[in-house]
Amino acid sequence: MKRTVANICVLVFMVAIAFALSGCASCCGEAAPAKAPATKGMLHGTIGCDDCELSSSPLRVDKEMPGQVVVGKPYTYTIKVTNEASCVLEDVVVIERVSEGYKIESANPSATKVSGRVAEWDIGYLKPNETKVITITGVASSPSATTSCTKADYNPVLCLGPGVGIPAILLEVVDTEDPVQVGGMEKFYVMVTNQGNAVDSDIVVKVDFEENFDYVSSGGPTAGKAESAKTVTFAPLAALAPGQKATWEVTAKAVSEGDHRTSVKLTSDAIQRSVDETEATRIY
């Protein structure tokens, strides 16, 4: 919905004029507006009207003019439009209506559209705390032609996006006895930690032994199923939240001497390629 910030009506008498706008609109008729309190040579005021509910506006419009002008001689004044919000304002438009008898000779930037006594600037996009300045030079043909009125419109824009969460899985495997004698039992602990900032799910752990060990038993947050004496695969762990750790225990029997490697593979919804870890155990 288009928002009209305010109208400023200025009659040139003062040293300089700067109005900070907040509110929905002001009543800008033929009569000059009431003077606001002066501070250090500048006038500061809030423009509102009697027939609408005042509300704070993120768009500030400041207008500065010379303190005195000579009829028939060119003079320059400025309009500054500032986005005081923390978000972007789009479709910002500044409309300047001059009095009968005032002629705009030049403007920087040039007006987007001019119709009679009304000039319009399509400012467009204003970033937070960004200011655009319009400089106008013109001539008043009579003392009553020095009044000009400024209006600013904008469209509020709401930009919203969710944060990005990424699981980060750490896989560790350790043995409890090393070296271990043939015929002895060895316990392996498989530890999975989510070091990321998002939940990972359907985590599957698979343990493989070489010829030196045979699978005996296992325990942990999910049940293990032995595919053979050399392989056990655990049922998927439904979810592992950020910072959480899951540990599986696997018991195996040493059946022959050698320099053994226990291999562990992990897959999950977040991991396209398996995470692999090994643990070396000496059997004598």
| Domain range summary for the chain, segments of one domain joined by + | 3-156, 169-283
Topology of the domain covering 169-283: Immunoglobulin-like (2.60.40)
Q: State residue 184's pLDDT score.
A: 95
Q: State residue 84's pLDDT score.
A: 86
Q: State residue 3's pLDDT score.
A: 58
pLDDT over 70 percentage in the chain: 79
Q: State residue 162's pLDDT score.
A: 86
Q: State residue 67's pLDDT score.
A: 83
Q: d(Cα 271, Cα 170) in Å, to the nearest integer?
A: 12
Q: State residue 47's pLDDT score.
A: 34
Note whether 92 and 152 are within 8 A (CB): yes
Q: Average pLDDT for residues 164-177, to the nearest whole number?
A: 94
pLDDT in tens, 174-228: 999 899 999 999 999 999 999 999 999 999 999 999 999 999 999 999 999 998 9
- Residue 88 banded pLDDT, cuts 50, 70, 90: confident
Q: What is the dihedral of CA 84, 54, 27, 60, to 10 degrees?
A: 0
- Residue 132 banded pLDDT, cuts 50, 70, 90: very high
* Three-class DSSP category at 143: helix
Of the two residues 144 and 161, the one the predictor is more confident about is 144
The structural architecture, per CATH, of the domain 3-156 is Sandwich (2.60)
Q: Average pLDDT for residues 13-30, to the nearest whole number?
A: 34
Average pLDDT, the chain: 82
Q: State residue 98's pLDDT score.
A: 94
Q: State residue 89's pLDDT score.
A: 87
pLDDT in tens, 103-113: 999 999 999 99
pLDDT over 90 percentage in the chain: 62
- Residue 7 banded pLDDT, cuts 50, 70, 90: low
Q: Computed over its alpha carbons, how large is the radius of gyration of the chain?
A: 38
On the question of a common fold for 3-156 and 169-283, the answer reads yes
pLDDT in tens, 238-267: 999 999 999 999 999 999 999 999 999 999
Q: Average pLDDT for residues 155-170, to the nearest whole number?
A: 84
> Quick one: which H or E segment has residue 59?
strand 59-64
Q: d(Cα 271, Cα 274) in Å, to the nearest integer?
A: 7
> Does 45 have pLDDT greater than 50?
no
Q: How many CA atoms lie within 13 A of 185 on its CB side?
A: 7
DSSP string, 64-128: E--S---TTS-EEEEEEEEE-SSS-EEEEEEEEEEPTTEEEEEEESPPSEEETTEEEEEEEEE-T
The whole-angstrom distance between residue 63's C-alpha and the CA centroid of its chain comes to 32
Q: State residue 58's pLDDT score.
A: 81
User: Which of these, 212, 209, 208, lies nearest to 259 by C-alpha position?
Assistant: 212
